[in-house]
Chains A and B, each alone.
Chain A
Amino acid sequence: MIQWAGLVVFLLTIFVAVPGFVAASGRSDLYYTLTSVALLSIASAGVWLTFYIGRINIGQGAFALIGAYVSAILVTKVGISFWLSLPLAGVFAAAVAVVIGLPILRLRGVYFAMISLVLTQVVTLTALALPVTNGAKGITSIPLPGGVSILGLTVIPDFATLENPRLAFYYTACVLMVLTFAAMYRLVNSRLGHLCRSMQQNEELASSIGVNISYVRVIVFAISSFLGGIGGAMFGSIAQSVYPSSFQVADSVNFMLNCFLGGLGYVFGPMLGTLVLYFGWDLLFELGRFQLLAYSSMLIILMLFLPNGLLSLRLPGKKESDK
């Protein structure tokens, strides 16, 4: 019961209380921040899932960049609706993940982490070199998402005609985030999640009971990258531009840190981690040149004292994946 209550409070907060607060205080810049948090948490959720099969993934920036480019190219050059390009961006990122994942997912521990760290740079360089991505100039002036109507009923309004596209993006990002984490929760508590846990704990034993571990690994990596692609595509649409530097190695590292900070044992860890990390960085802005020092010291202290993440404080009403 307490879980359902928590869910209702959470939904009311993001869909009613936050827009209400912004309207009352007039701080519409909060929309941009919170939209970013929602989208980054989607990509972080993907990273969290690769942690769940025992792989340290520092390459999510690569898939976010791929998603952003695929969506931008489909919208500007092919001329299809953004709403169609969004899932296609995710699927394309997932397809790339399958091709890359087949060889590299055999690696474990720090070896996989190192290879994944390279991926972001590889995608950045590829984007610089390919004609279709327009090199360093990137893709700019991407139109805002158009409207969608079914049987004459407007399901999604044209963002360009809206008075406040920021609010629209905020709602879109929140809906996507809620869908992502609902799916993650379901996945982790379904058979695939159980198999992931068995592989995380012992791959040899998992294969001895008949689990096709290379297949499960690739599936999970593909889902992870799908989420990265979706997050990246949304970002590109909000910024209305994509550059090779839109997602960098530092972003990939942040995606991973979000998971660590929130807690690797909790499905909702990446969401909390992203929120705290994003706002934490901004709040330390006042410290000027000491910002990075204070920020990294706090991260180290957090990891020392809460190695299982913020959610391991076990606040009442917080949902746990492993119970």
Chain B
Amino acid sequence: MSARAFRVQLDLTPPPIVRKISQRSLIFGVVFAIAVAVGVLVSHNGLDEFYQGYLLGYMCWLGVALGSMAILMIRHMTGGGWGTVIRRVLGAAMRTMPLLTILFIPLAVAAAQGHMYPWAMPFESIKDEHIREHLINQRFITQSYLNVTGFIIRAIIYFAIWNVLSILLSKWSKEADSPEGRDNGHRFRMLSAPGLILYAFSITFATIDWAMSLDPTWISTIYGLILLIGELLSAMCFAVVVERILVDYRPMSELLRSDFVLDHGKWMLTFIMLWAYFSFSQWLIIWAGNLPGEISFYLRRIHNGWGYIGLALAAFHFAVPFAMLLSRPFKQNIRKLVWLAIWLMLMCYLDLFWIISASFSVSLSINWAEIVVPIAIGGFWLWAYFRNLASLPLLPAYDPQSAEVLHPSHYIHV
């Protein structure tokens, strides 16, 4: 509509380091992709191991992108300088959605060719007796819901939802880069409220399809929420890592205040508490019920070494970070907080490893693909992420809410 009566004179162009990291990440991605290809050819059971590692890595990086989109939508609903200052940091992650849509193809291929997912295999080739019997006796599971056609149609729906949300949110955000742009605050709110609900439902169904269905005999209704909160946590931690990189350079050095960092620390605390709450609720309810169909999930994950991973998660995904995040000076200091953020991202990986990979092996074991493939996907994802970050100013300067982040000296009146 009308042009603003002021100009923002602070140069909001991202620093050159962003492009450099993008290029380095691509090299990383290519090198590790070659390693993956070699691994698939050399290893005895290469293709199966590849798919297992791929699912793990894909869920990790998808989580950062979707979690960033959800945090952005929370910010659009609540406002607040903490979210405005990292809008473009989160937005760049959200705009990797097209790449993640393409990266989903190997999982669709895995299902279509009868790899990894027991429900996609012919009954006689399912190794786990318990699962085979269950699927044979309850044929409606594979006939009505868990089949390749349904898997692919549902995936198309999830990606349609996520891509549309991402496209609209970033399109409206870009309009605030010029003084002529209109105030999209109302549209953001109108989209974000249903968007958050859609996200919660779509990710619940997606995690049922992609991860929970690895064991079609077992169901948990809180499962989607556990993975959802892991996505939000890893996204907030990733944003903290990126802001730590950016804070050494203008313009982020001018924008990031310690009270914003404090709020990011508080979000991390909130998310690990919610993660513990959801994870413990699932454990308590299944433990109290003690039903054969439900307890199998935990029997597998507390015996044969997997229990150590579970204990490590309780201690290092929750207890120790919780105690650290109680300290206000720690949360305010980006240079300290960043180390916990990196640590918690590793814990999010370990959490997914415990939830997903225990379905593949009765005793604790990690194969090459579960380390190499997540790094390879991460290389390509970070390449796209930092390219996105470099392509737009670091703040939508003419959004009225940016006034909370900018200093009066950053403006000139015209």
Q: Do A and B bind each other?
A: no
